[in-house]
Chain A
């Protein structure tokens, strides 16, 4: 009996110890570090210095703004596209469903670095995308050298990679909606459009919330794409919080400041998640 009582602790122990060492400790340590600065090789208490510097740091606010723009444009575009594709793929008339599903999911299995590099080559001034555009009469777009288009490049690349992934999530959820809900609605005279907004969307709410939270955390931590696709430029136009943490920490070796930025991200993820839960949980 005693042995049986000890068993759960024994089996959970490796996970708990690793969790304490590599998650709990670092979270506390970086919180402490965010109130410290390095003076002659030693970290000493600096009060709110890192945070006041953060408040007055233009690059930080630029990174915030960039992240916000990317988030506000990319997530809705991707979710709407994924929704449309999932609905089409869910149609009874369609053949080759499996083929389309796998093809659309394919971008999601590529490594983040590999696809970022691939897009950085395709989006060059004389790259294949501008060449293709020239055939439909669009003059070369300065994808990577113009602040506006650099952001667009990141949004396009991310949408390419993640739409199919979200589509598969929505598709799985769509197949769980009971068919008789639609039958009852169409007997009541609701058209396809109304059915979509009054049945499909509310039924998919938890899944949209799930995809939304994943995308929120993902966008706030955005690093691989700006690092490999645009390098944060031109002129910080694609600087993200993730990239700024990396640069402050491992290019300028300002660990205290980097920790302060990281904690700003923690707070934002928390706030945004609460907002999303509030929006979704009003019923």
Chain B
């Protein structure tokens, strides 16, 4: 017994000795590795962040300051001038309103449409279900541009060009959002639905009062995804909108670069205004934002 203990003691001693010997160089190696990692990350950090800083420099300086050598690296005092000029060129408040209104309205309607379809696709059995779901999935492979021209003709035929309706209608049924929401609804316990049914709740009641409240995180992620889709949408609004007062932010910004004289201070102010609210939004709701933008494909 005592002998056994001795052996164990010896072997543990050996082990710690071996570990001790190994530990020192390993620590050094780790330190070296850390230095290497932080250097790499810092380089990427500068690359990722600098354009944002430069955008801010541009927005607060005169147009010519963006092309000087040595470069202007500090904020200037032209913030108000650039803002006023930008407002004169594109009516910035109207454009902001258009974008927010279109994106907000789109999120509300699209979420209702997609969530209810996703819910029945996940939780009910009915004839044609498989066919409908497959059709939604397949349509995700079709480039948006393949539908562009008939959609334009359709809006033109119904006299709907240059309206908010034309901007939001085509993407209200968004198969990718349906697909993602369905994945989340699948995980909802069917027993809860059954017991509510026994209590006499109608199917719609079950959806609205029981399922929806427990799906908030998924719905939040989907809302952000839909909002970003509409906020960034460029080609379609460019095609259907044709007056300044109806332009969404991306279309208005792009039109600034088409002018014969480009005031870069103004443009940078526009770029800043289009970017800062989204960044603020992102920083406050990071988690939902990332899962929304990745399409919560990987949970």
Contact = CB atoms under 8 A, between A and B. Distances in A.
B34 to A, nearest CB: 5
Interface in A106-139: 106-115, 117-122, 124, 126-128, 131-132, 134
Contacts of B70: 131
B136 A22 contact: no
A155 to B, nearest CB: 14
Nearest to B30: A93
A255 B66 contact: no
A14 interface: yes
Nearest to B169: A22
A106 B147 contact: no
A245 interface: yes
A191 B204 CA distance: 57
Contact of B148 (A18, A89, A113, A249): A249
B203 A250 contact: no
B8 to A, nearest CB: 23
Interface string A36-63: 0000000000000000000000000000
Contacts, number: 263
B26 to A, nearest CB: 11
B290 interface: yes
The residue among A15, A93, A127, A246 with the most chain B CB atoms within 10 A of its own CB is: A15
Contacts of B48: 103-104, 106-107, 160, 164
Interface in A228-254: 228, 241-242, 245-246, 249-250
A172 interface: yes
Nearest to B296: A172
B106 interface: no
B69 A121 contact: no
Contacts of B203: 3-4, 7
A253 B270 CA distance: 30
B261 interface: no
A30 B235 CA distance: 17
A18 B294 CA distance: 25
Interface string A216-234: 0100110110011000000
Contacts of A164: 48
A227 B237 CA distance: 14
A72 interface: no
Interface stretch (B13-21, B78-86, B90-98, B121-129): B121-129
Interface string A1-44: 00111011101101110110011111101100100000000000
A209 to B, nearest CB: 12
Interface string B134-148: 011001011111111
Interface in B268-295: 268, 270-271, 274-275, 278-279, 282-283, 286, 289-290, 293-294
B117 interface: yes
Interface string B163-207: 000000111110100100000000000000000000000111001
Interface stretch (A144-152, A177-185, A263-271): A263-271
Given A22-B172, A30-B147, A245-B145, A112 B67 contact: no
A145 B234 CA distance: 25
Contacts of B232: 111-113
A100 B49 CA distance: 11
A266 B289 CA distance: 30
The residue among A4, A19, A93, A105 with the most chain B CB atoms within 10 A of its own CB is: A19
A224 B235 contact: yes
Given A106-B279, A115-B51, A270-B141, A127 B66 contact: yes
Interface of A: 3-5, 7-9, 11-12, 14-16, 18-19, 22-27, 29-30, 33, 84-85, 88-89, 91, 93-94, 100, 102-115, 117-122, 124, 126-128, 131-132, 134, 160, 164-165, 168-169, 172-173, 176, 207, 210, 217, 220-221, 223-224, 227-228, 241-242, 245-246, 249-250, 255, 258-259, 262-263, 265-266, 269-270, 273
14 contacts: A12-B132, A19-B136, A23-B142, A26-B147, A29-B153, A30-B146, A100-B41, A103-B48, A106-B49, A107-B51, A109-B289, A126-B67, A127-B67, A165-B294
Interface of B: 30, 33-34, 37, 40-41, 44-45, 47-49, 51-52, 54-55, 58, 66-71, 112-114, 116-117, 119-121, 124, 126, 129, 132, 135-136, 139, 141-154, 169-173, 175, 178, 202-204, 207, 228, 231-232, 234-235, 238-239, 249-251, 253-254, 257, 264, 267-268, 270-271, 274-275, 278-279, 282-283, 286, 289-290, 293-294, 297-298
Which 6 residue pairs are nearest across A and B when measured between Cβ atoms? A15-B117, A26-B147, A29-B150, A18-B173, A113-B250, A26-B150
Given A110-B279, A118-B51, 20 more contacts: A11-B119, A16-B132, A18-B173, A22-B147, A22-B170, A26-B151, A30-B148, A30-B149, A85-B44, A103-B48, A110-B278, A112-B250, A113-B251, A113-B253, A118-B271, A169-B297, A217-B143, A223-B235, A246-B145, A249-B149
